[in-house]
Amino acid sequence: MKKNIYFILLLLCIHHLAKAQSITPVTGFGTNPGALNMYKYVPTGISGPAPLVIAMHGCTENATTFSSQTGWNKLADLHKFYVIYPEQVSANNSSLCFNWFDTTDVNRNVGEALSIKQMIDYMKANYAINASEVFVTGISAGGGMTSVMMAAYPDVIAKGAVMSGLPYKAATDPVTAYTAMSSGITKTPAQWGALVRAQNPGFTGSYPKLAIFHGTVDYTVNITNATELMKQWTNLNHADQTVDSTNSAFQGNSNISLSIYNDSTNNPAVYFYKVTGMGHAIAVDTGACPRKGGAVGTYASEQTNFHSTYWAADFFQLIPGPYSITGAINVSVSASGITYSVPSTSGSTYVWTVPPGATIMSGQGTNSITVHFGTRSGYVEVTESPASGCKLDAAKLYVNVGVATNIAASPLPVQRMYYVASENSIHTDQIPVQALKTLRIYSMLGQNCTPSFSIDGNTLMLGTQLPKGIYVISLQDDEKRYDAKIAVF
């Protein structure tokens, strides 16, 4: 009953918020060398540092149209994050396209790329922005500029979602831009990666993860570009180009397939959502339910059970689950008979997914399942559909398969690894961190919380601040793994 009341209140909240979602122009946000316009959306009720999403329109569009068609403002209201909408002007491009192919606009600290970076800096200066949660997305030319921001500012952007877009520096002038759009430019993963690395030769952190959304009958930006994007960002994230998991009927829609490419540590690096039969557009699923939104338009196509903005936000981890899943967070390889459950509501059905290689032995459709695991860690996830027909936001639980995060199993004395809050660093004693192959930081729920980092002597300087809590640190070199527990207060 409590959850049913919550769901009714949520729908009323959505209906109320849908009436007032206008964006606000911002001037004086910097020197603005790219001569772009800036709009912002600031939802009510934000407390403390919050994420920021940069959303960029396609050719012939403007910020207002894009904000309406994508539904980003609705999600910002529900889940409390900020949105900024860069806008192109006709003086820069007569078709209102972002100049994703112009070298005076796509390199670090010049042109349109710098203008967008200044918009981010403005938001950080005027609002409590979580610097580790800055995300970028866009369609078409805005998708091309999404690749630009990920490449030029990997120290700023955490993740990106490119919709019907192109790789970074697929073109460097209008002629090659047309070729890239119409048929695609083919390069090796290493060649694509080198174009990005050249922007920040001294960068040692992690590159942004990427979600790709593309229609199979896109005659404006050939879907070949989705494959080239995958090659570029798997290379940058130490992943190969072999699909690690596939869902050929995502959310029950046989037109939507999801392919996931994992990095060398088996963590997802690139998602590719392929929409069969869709042209040059974002996918929207209009309606008032929490997982629906957007509006049909020139570059926005109705798709059953698939609102691309929602799934981009889910990829950015902006959408918290409605409740916790109960079950083990550490299991052995090939563990069988492991039970996971959520509260039961009369009339609801439940759709569960499990990590690659795992199988659901029983309980699919109910609030409790029994799982047989393989060798891969990953999320146990459930989506509840109440009797109303809406789907609630998914709940997730990260499960480590054969990965020790139990402190009792740690071979490392605590004094050999410790956290220094004043400099957000992990200090080690007699551990050869110069030979470090991987660093993993797990929460006590088993979730991978590893930020970017750099090495200074025997000190690991973390790129972003860890939230308060207890963590397990795991360092791996060629021969050994070192584990310890730290507290962040």
- Which are the catalytic amino acids? 140
Cβ distance 116 to 36 under 8 Å? Answer: yes
Q: Which residues of 55-93 are buried (b: 16+ CB within 10 A; e: fewer)?
A: bbbbbebebebbbbbbbbbbbbbbbbbbbbbbbbeeebb
Query: 87 phi and psi, to 5 degrees?
Result: -135, 130
Q: Residue holding tokens 């806008």?
A: 87
Q: How far apart are the C-alpha atoms of 444 and 470, rounded to whole Å?
A: 6
**380: helix, coil or strand?**
strand
Non-local (6+) Cβ contacts of 175 within 8 A are none
Instruction: Give the strand pairing for 268-275 and 209-215.
Output: parallel
Q: How far apart are the C-alpha atoms of 404 and 377, rounded to whole Å?
A: 11
Cβ distance 117 to 162 under 8 Å? Answer: no
Residues forming a β-bridge with 129: 50
Which secondary structure element, helix H or strand E, spans residue 372, and what is its range? strand 368-372
Residues forming a β-bridge with 482: 475
Q: How far apart are the C-alpha atoms of 254 and 384, rounded to whole Å?
A: 20
| Residue 367 in tokens | 């609030």
Query: 66 phi and psi, to 5 degrees?
Result: -65, -40
**276: helix, coil or strand?**
coil
Q: Which residues of 253-286 are buried (b: 16+ CB within 10 A; e: fewer)?
A: bebbbbbbbbbebbbbbbbbbbbeebebbbbbbb
Cβ distance 428 to 436 under 8 Å? Answer: no
